Chain A
Amino acid sequence: MLDIIICKVLRAIGSRLGRGSSLPGRICRKIWPKSLSMLKLPDKVIAVTGSIGKTSTVALLCSIAEKARLKVICNREGSNQTDGVTTLLLSSADPFSRKVDADIVILESDEMFCQYTFKEFKPSHMLITNLFRDQLTRNGHREFVKESLSKGIPDGTLLILNANEPLSCSYGNGREGTVYYSVSAPELREDPGTKHAYDDGAYCPVCGRKMDYDYRIAGHVGAFECKKCGFRSPKAEHSVTAAKDGKFIIDGTWEIRPQFFNDAYAQNIISAFTTAVEVMGIDPATAADALDGLELGNGRVVEFMINGHSGKLMLCKQETPMAYNGAIETALNDPLEEITIVLIVDRLSSKFIANDMSWLWDIDFERLNDSKVKKIILSGGYAHDAAERMLIAGIPEDRLVIEPDLDRMMEVVSERSEGYVYTMTCFTDQYRFLNRLKKYSGYVIKPEKGDEKE
């Protein structure tokens, strides 16, 4: 009982001080290591994990659950490691009965921490979005992440998997009851022969032989087949079958107007739809209605204005090429004829020494060789690394503006931008941009973001 009361009090204090939500859980776990395992959780506990799309998918799932009038508890704001999950669940529990009072719990879970979090309780379902090259300084490589995550998938937990992503999809091999989702819309497929900086779909994750694709959505995501061992994209329960006029069509029936019209968001939408229908028992019409026109206010995209230029700050997961590729895709899909790209590469991490820039070479900057990209402004301590990468990508020198000094960056953005300004940076570096925006008569349109410590 005391663990729950202490956690609630610490969380309330933390909220008032604007502090993170992991500390109460960490303290409680130190004092009461069995706290989590002694909670009474609802029958449906859905863990959402994978490299990219966790936060958005959890937010989509929560919105669907709320639309269906289910009482849902989720860590919408992240805090996805064991301590954060502990804080969420203990502070949501009744101190006397230890019951978490909800119809459903939806947990974003860090893929490297599932092995610790789910030692203490077992989620009924686990949605694994994908396994991409992601924060390799922390994660090493995808196969290492796959091995770590496999230790965190409890026996008996039912999986919901992306039928288009080979490595995470291979978790379903021989696992009964696995549900798959896919994106098959022809409009979202890559042109055959599209080149990328790397190809994680070249070899089969099961037998290691060369793999074939019927089509690709983005990089190694697509309809794959290994002709040697027979591992192939499984049949999906639900699929985005078309994408036109700004809408995703699910199963040829349900029309969704998405917040972001790109392949990555299509994967988020269909993963949430599939989980809602197949796991949460929500009827497809309600799930589609909840997703239609839904705008997530998770601050991943910040609209701003500077010196007459409108712009968007698109936050990309640290050192994660697919996240930056998604931002590039969004910028290039803009029907506007003139755009400026701003790329800020500065600290990367506030906790660790992180100067490895090898991930820049895995981003498809070659795609910025597009006539609508009028200027590319590079700023932050590692602007020269980014410049070297851009030049090797074939970007003409006269299109680059290199300003490593963050305090002079806004002047450059203000004076040299042409057209709409797409700014890309990671979570750690976002306030290096936002805090300086106001000083140059710029302002944030939405969502509201205050000054933060850099």
Chain B
Amino acid sequence: MISIVSAYPDFLDLYGEYSAVKLLEKRLETGSQQVKESTLTFGRYAELENADMIYVGAGTEDRMLSALEDLRGYAKQIREFLDRGGILEVSGSSVAIFCKSISDRRTGNHYEGLGVFDAEAEITPKRRYGELICSYGDGKKVIGAVNSSIDFKRNSGQKELFTVLWDSSKRFAIGSGEGMSIDGNVYASEITGPLIVRNPHLMDEIAEKLSGGKLPECTEAWYREAWKAYEHAFGVLSAESRITQDQKG
């Protein structure tokens, strides 16, 4: 039985985040894996001791800060979870929760993060929206959008998750890193979409890590459509990236 904990799905719920766990579960079930999903939210305890994966979706900046305060009570369990190789996926603003510190330029407040990542986060008053093509692993391409007002600064000890190949907003330089990764088990990215819904190969990778081996080919219609959707969007963004790079010079 694979145990997935959704953290604050009713609170950190922007940009269709709920669908990530939903599709991951379906993908695992098509590989004959049994999945148990439990919810961790305010006033609702979830057993992280037995969890194989924790998913924390994107929320507003203020909600992210509230979730951080609640998650402080689980800091020790999260550390232990990571030490035993549990898979953590975090998206959008929630990446800040796991940084060393968060400064909020809107209010001047400063918060201590959970310190999982050797990085700092800064909430700014300005929002940016950009669509990205990134690469990871052996050159696989990831697509999605960053809709954020948070700047992240990775310190030298922190490994990025993706390498940016193109960003429509030009916030990320080509070749720069995006997100945070630890030992191949932590997938923390500002990219939403939701990330593993728009990138079925990434969903497969996480599903296979959770199941401990290669999953059989999925023949279900939704999975087929997910791949076609990815191929279309990747084609559109690739064309856009060529246009904007040509324009640049």
A residues with CB within 8 A of B: 136-138, 140-144, 197-199, 202-203, 208, 210, 353, 355-362, 381-382, 384-385, 387-388, 391-392, 397, 402, 404
Contact = CB atoms under 8 A, between A and B. Distances in A.
Contact of B229 (A142, A197, A359, A385): A385
B171 interface: no
Of the candidates B16, B63, B236, the one having the most CB atoms from chain A within 10 angstroms of its own CB is B16
B168 A141 contact: no
B23 interface: yes
B229 A358 contact: no
14 contacts: A140-B129, A143-B60, A143-B62, A203-B63, A356-B131, A357-B193, A357-B233, A358-B15, A361-B194, A384-B226, A387-B221, A388-B197, A391-B225, A392-B23
Contacts of A143: 60-63
Given A143-B62, A360-B16, A361-B16, A388 B225 contact: yes
Given A357-B193, A384-B225, A392 B22 contact: yes
Interface string B212-227: 0000000011100110
Interface of B: 10-11, 13-16, 18-19, 22-23, 26, 42, 60-63, 66, 127, 129, 131, 143-145, 147, 149, 168, 192-194, 197-198, 220-222, 225-226, 228-229, 232-233, 236-237, 240
Contact of B13 (A198, A357, A392, A397): A198
B193 A358 contact: yes
A353 B168 contact: yes
Contact of B233 (A141, A199, A355): A355
A346 to B, nearest CB: 11
Contacts of B10: 199, 202
A302 B127 CA distance: 36
A353 B147 CA distance: 13
Given A357-B198, A381-B236, A136 B15 contact: yes
Nearest to A360: B16
Contacts of A208: 62-63, 66
A388 B18 contact: no
Contact of A141 (B16, B18, B19, B60): B60
Contacts of B42: 210
Given A356-B15, A357-B193, A384-B232, 13 more contacts: A140-B127, A144-B127, A198-B18, A199-B13, A203-B63, A353-B131, A356-B144, A357-B198, A359-B16, A361-B197, A382-B229, A382-B232, A388-B222
Nearest to A402: B225
A404 B235 CA distance: 14
A136 B131 contact: no
Given A141-B60, A144-B127, A136 B147 contact: yes
B222 A391 contact: yes
Given A357-B198, A382-B229, A392-B23, A362 B16 contact: yes
B240 A353 contact: yes
B130 to A, nearest CB: 9
Contacts of A359: 15-16
B149 A140 contact: yes
B188 to A, nearest CB: 18
Given A357-B198, A384-B225, A137 B129 contact: yes
Nearest to B26: A392
Given A356-B131, A357-B198, A392 B232 contact: no
Contacts of B131: 353, 355-356
